[in-house]
Amino acid sequence: MSVLERDPGDLVQVLDEDGAVVGELPDIGDETIVQMYRDMVLARHFDKRAVSLQRQGRMGTYPPLSGQEAAQIGSAHALGDDDWLFPSYREHGASFVRGIPLDQTLLYWMGHEAGNKVPDDVNVFPVAVPIATQTLHATGAAWAASLKGDTDTAMLCYFGDGATSEGDFHEALNFAGVFDTPSVFFCNNNQWAISVPREHQTASETIAQKATAYGFEGVQVDGMDPLAVYKVTREALEKATAAAPPDSGRRPTLIEAVQYRFGAHTTADDPSVYRDAEEVERWQAKDPIPRLESFCRDRGLLDDESIEAIDTDVTDRVAEAIESAESVARPLPEALFESVYETMPDRHHDQLAEIEALRAEHGDEVFFE
């Protein structure tokens, strides 16, 4: 039986918290599993360095991802070459897997518009900070693919549990269900929408079961188990494309990845105000990185030497990305207006005039003090 045919409340799991196999392994090669481990370690280290940069005043507000590496890396590795990724604002790890350079992600959070320009050969949409708007973009793109007769491309759209309370989410899923768009909706249920707990977000027993109202399947997966996430996402992508069995038809899927963010919602947030330490410790016992490491060690895919080599490589790559991003000149205030309007309104012309007056009196240094 396909994992997508299970009850939405039946959690799909491949590895338990200790990395032991408790479910059916996905059809995936050992090299890919090791690469997933490497990418998860990279995402965690990048995250720690990015938070440190923000605390030092070297970067703007940043949304940490620690704890969510399995959901991001496992699902991104399941994508086919022609598939598209629609991120929210926390998918730094998934975007990197799909080809977004680390230094470009840093530039984005440093306030450079250049950080929002996706390379031409990378199938990733720009970061979406407004909540749930990307669900409509993803459904629209999926419908366009269907209208063009493209049967090989699916759209994977990420969002948080808080987004499921937005109208955009329901409109996107309703449209996808009616028109059978090649869509995979991926909810990163990290238990908290900023300071709003999961139980105050919806009275539904699961988020996955919301798919039933729109006429397609929903599945709940252990979001801190990278192999389970890969398995579920791969099957959902196949169901959305021509890889679906002839008798089942191409259909959307809603995935609820149950997980936890270890840190703050963003660096502007203090989670200790609304979460207790015992809850955090309980979820940290499910940490996806040592979980996959244990599995790989048991299978002879990793040992102390190879893990040390991965750690060294990751440290060097992130350091190089930081050096590259910080070597780019800081944007001048005029950049605030360059990508907002085709024709600027009068009020912005007035603000630009104020900037020029400040520059004439004090020089550009006044903007960076």
Residue 86 confidence (pLDDT): 98
Give the residue carrying structure tokens 């995936």.
28
Q: Are 290 and 348 part of one and the same domain?
A: no
125, 118 contact by CB (below 8 A): yes
Please tell me whether residues 165 and 35 are part of one structural domain: yes
Helical (H) or strand (E) element with 129:
none
Same domain flag for 206 and 81: yes
Two structure tokens written together for 238:
């196949």
- Give just the sign of the alpha carbon dihedral 280, 41, 22, 5: positive
Q: What pLDDT is recorded for position 277? A: 95
Residue 188 is part of a domain; what is its CATH number? 3.40.50.970
**Sequence-ordered list of residues with C-beta below 8 angstroms from that of 168, at least 6 positions apart, any chain:** 131, 132, 133, 135, 136
244 and 348 co-located in one domain: no
The predicted pLDDT at position 199 comes to 93
Say if residue 360 is in the same domain as residue 250. no
> Residue 16: what pLDDT?
97
Average pLDDT over residues 297-314: 98
Tokens 């040592």 locate to 290
Angle at which helix 30-55 crosses helix 304-326, to 10 degrees, equals: 40
Q: Over the stretch 248-263, which tens digit does the pLDDT of each residue have? A: 678 999 999 999 999 9
Same domain, 354 and 311: no
User: What average pLDDT does this structure show over 178-205?
Assistant: 96
* Confidence at residue 258, expressed as pLDDT on a 0 to 100 scale: 98
pLDDT of residue 250: 86
Sorting pLDDT into bands at 50, 70 and 90, what band is 339? confident
DSSP 302: -
Q: Are residues 234 and 360 in the same domain?
A: no
Residue 240 and residue 183: Cα distance in Å, rounded?
6
Structure confidence at residue 331 (pLDDT):
84
Catalytic residue among 55, 200, 274, 349: 274
Out of 6, 234, 265, 291, which one is annotated catalytic?
265
Which residues sit opposite 183 in a β-bridge? 155
The strand pair at 155-160 and 183-189 is best described as parallel
**Distance between CA atoms of 104 and 114, rounded to whole angstroms?**
8
How many CA atoms within 13 Å lie on the side-chain side of 161?
29
Task: Indicate if the alpha-carbon torsion angle 126, 130, 135, 140 is positive or negative.
Answer: negative
Tell me which residue range forms the domain holding 344. Answer: 333-367
Name which of 92, 59, 104 is nearest 267 in CA terms: 59
Listed residue (186, 193, 183) closest to 73, CA to CA: 186
* Marked catalytic residue, from 38, 77, 98, 261: 261
* Mean pLDDT of the 131-143 span: 98
Indicate whether 61 and 105 sit together in one domain: yes
Give me the number of domains the chain comprises. 2
Q: Do 250 and 349 share a domain, yes or no?
A: no
**Whether residues 206 and 153 fall in one domain:** yes
Q: Which residues lie below 8 Å from residue 317, measured CB to CB, with a gap of 6+?
A: 42, 102
Domain boundary among 294, 310, 326: 326
Token pair listed for 25: 């392994």
Q: Catalytic: 92? A: no
Strand-pair partners of 156: 85, 184
pLDDT band at 60 (very low <50, low <70, confident <90, very high): very high
Note the pLDDT tens digit of each residue in 81-107.
Answer: 999 999 999 999 999 999 999 999 999
Average predicted confidence (pLDDT) for the chain: 94
In sign, the C-alpha dihedral spanning 57, 338, 157, 21 is negative
Helix residue ranges, H only, the chain? 30-55, 69-78, 92-97, 102-109, 133-147, 167-179, 226-240, 277-284, 288-298, 304-326, 346-362
> What's the full length of the chain, in residues?
369
Report how far residue 353's alpha carbon sits from residue 202's, in angstroms, rounded to the nearest whole number: 48
Burial class (CB in 10 A: 0-12, 13-18, 19+), 106: buried
Residue 271's nearest CA partner among 43, 51, 44 is 51
CB atoms within 10 A of CB 273: 7
Active site includes 362?
A: no
Q: Are residues 171 and 291 in the same domain?
A: yes
341 in the same domain as 284 = no
274 is catalytic: yes
Predicted model pTM: 0.94
